[in-house]
Amino acid sequence: MFQRQINEEDIRHVLESGEVIEEYPKDLPYPSCLILGFISLRPLHVVIAENKMGQETIVITAYEPDVQRWELGFKRRKKL
């Protein structure tokens, strides 16, 4: 996150106000999902896993989606 200039406040904002755009219910050890949010005009994708029994959210990665790999709006991957 440091190298991508994404801080904890950015992550919290995306988790609170973002939209789940992909779900991965079969991921192990916990189901995960991809969330899209915006910090001002900057789009961010955050992948989290949720340990519901432990009431824990684990941030796996966060990045700015690449316009060459994502359709306009950053909700769908381009078919390459």
Instruction: Name the pTM for this structure.
Output: 0.93
Would you call 8 helix, strand, or coil by DSSP? helix
pLDDT tens series, the chain, 80 aa: 889 999 999 999 999 999 999 999 999 999 999 999 999 999 999 999 999 989 999 999 999 999 999 999 999 999 87
Looking at residue 65, what DSSP letter applies? P
Cβ neighbours of 6 (radius 10 Å): 20
Cα 50 to the center of its chain, rounded Å? 13
